[in-house]
Chain A
């Protein structure tokens, strides 16, 4: 059990390519942190710096009270689960689990006890004598987890561990990882590009973009109050609708010209990005009245996904397409006119230039 502290951690490749640009995070003991972002955002590099597989250019990584910058991966008291599992192909499942313990000079009886226990928890007892190539993807994933558990490390590091599994297995393992982490109470850092995985697993999310932290917070907090247009468009599916708007004395209007009623109170004159989630738009009976945002759009396509449907619609003067969540029973025809409404607390504004949230 341990805390992890990242202090202005930077990674520069080949003298010029800055993959991680001064990231600071305080991770509490037993916390499950998910680093999420698109590929190339530096999330894996950050994880690998915590693991010691990547040199830290500047800054400091502390595990517990110990600065680990110069400490060997094997001595950092971490265990890592890799995307492709990285099981030793020439060793049996038992030896895969035992290898890290043997190298630490643990007595045979203790090793045996831990391996059997981990195998029992992960339900891989029956495969202990098999080589990894004789296992299915899901079983390999469990062995990889087992290899981390037997070590009883201070920290688990996960590098996209579920992305090689099929959709059904991924959901199952996701639940299992969460349960295991709760039971063991081990501080965990988990890297993924899948925002659904991030939302469901994390105690706190760290959204990364181009080597910078965009936002840190509990999943629901990040979802409800995205700190930037990047976070707004990355977290949530389908993504938040983002509209370029201008504000003047007459109120809000789209840059293309259509006026928008309501929700503009307190904004200075200027350009903004307005954000509203597809699930926060409601279909109104007629033209807008009262407070809140009102939009008038024409349906392009109705996309049923089962439990719900999404309407893709556009404004009379063109402009960006807008997505609205509707019930799965809704029957909207292309060309149909819709009036949309959103509550003021569900309308977000971002600076048009920096993309930062404006409250």
Chain B
């Protein structure tokens, strides 16, 4: 790394200022506000607020619907992370092995990444639609009475599929470049040392991909927890009713639809804490097993 000497001591901070300003305005300030309002009971129009201590937290944690949504969020996050990582890895390995026309495969697999989450959600909803959705024909054929928006499981199924579909290209790009960074001679040495391609993958390729996979694990967890908001919103069409929703969506529902600013803030603080703990856990226990070259 090359060190740059600045003529004035304050100049580097000036360069950092735009980035810091964005972080402070859009991250720290709202976070502080959320923590603050989580201790107050506010009326929906913002005319008055009363300090209620930890009441908002106890309400949230004792509510059975919150526990239910938390359970779904855990299952949803694990499924989306696992499926989008493993499918992307599969595609990347296959695309990497293709010699002819590989660039067109790569482009085809990557373009989905350019689709915004709500648009992806909309495309997914149309795909699974009860009247025009092509998926329904397939579901019919195997005797599955598929009803998105009405049946809890079916809606959850659609949400997972759309979220995974949306995230695969991102993971794919990283996995593919990770695979291409493995020296050719290393694979060849492996080919001479080990006959089974499957075993080679587990003992050589995957360990060398571990730094990429670890990075993607954190990104995908965060994606499944937060960035799927747009997809959830489009699928449940603003009316959660009996449909599955994630914790982030509940924060939005309670705060902006239900007008419960205090409760919603408490939920977002809990979510922040969970992600914080999760990230620390990942760095402490998973990263140790990662080999950085």
Contact = CB atoms under 8 A, between A and B. Distances in A.
Interface of A: 51-53, 72-75, 78-80, 82-84, 86-90, 99-100, 103, 133, 147
Interface of B is mostly: helix
A336 to B, nearest CB: 52
B188 A89 contact: no
Contacts of A73: 188, 191-192
Interface string B183-225: 1011011111111100100011001101000000000000000
B293 interface: yes
Range for the number of chain B residues in contact with chain A: 20 to 34
Contacts of A133: 293
Given A89-B291, A89-B293, A99 B194 contact: yes
Contacts of A88: 186, 189-190, 204
Given A99-B203, A133-B293, A86 B195 contact: no
A75 B186 CA distance: 18
Contacts of A74: 191-195
A103 B199 contact: yes
B183 A100 contact: no
A103 B207 contact: no
9 contacts: A51-B192, A80-B192, A82-B189, A88-B204, A90-B207, A90-B291, A99-B193, A100-B192, A103-B195
Nearest to A76: B192
Interface of B: 183, 185-186, 188-196, 199, 203-204, 207-208, 210, 291, 293
Given A89-B291, A103-B196, A53 B191 contact: yes
Contacts of B210: 90
A78 B186 CA distance: 16
Contact of A86 (B189, B194, B196, B199): B189
B293 A86 contact: no
A88 B193 CA distance: 11
A49 B124 CA distance: 49
Contact of A83 (B185, B194, B208, B291): B185
B189 A75 contact: no
A78 B194 CA distance: 12
A53 B187 CA distance: 10
B188 A53 contact: yes
A86 B204 CA distance: 12
A83 B195 CA distance: 22
Interface centre among A51, A52, A83, A103 (most CB of B within 10 A): A103
Nearest to B186: A86
Given A83-B185, A88-B186, A75 B191 contact: no
Contacts of A79: 192
Contacts of B196: 103
Given A53-B192, A84-B183, 8 more contacts: A73-B188, A73-B191, A75-B195, A82-B189, A86-B186, A99-B203, A103-B193, A147-B189
Contacts of A78: 192
Contacts of A82: 185, 188-189
Nearest to A51: B192
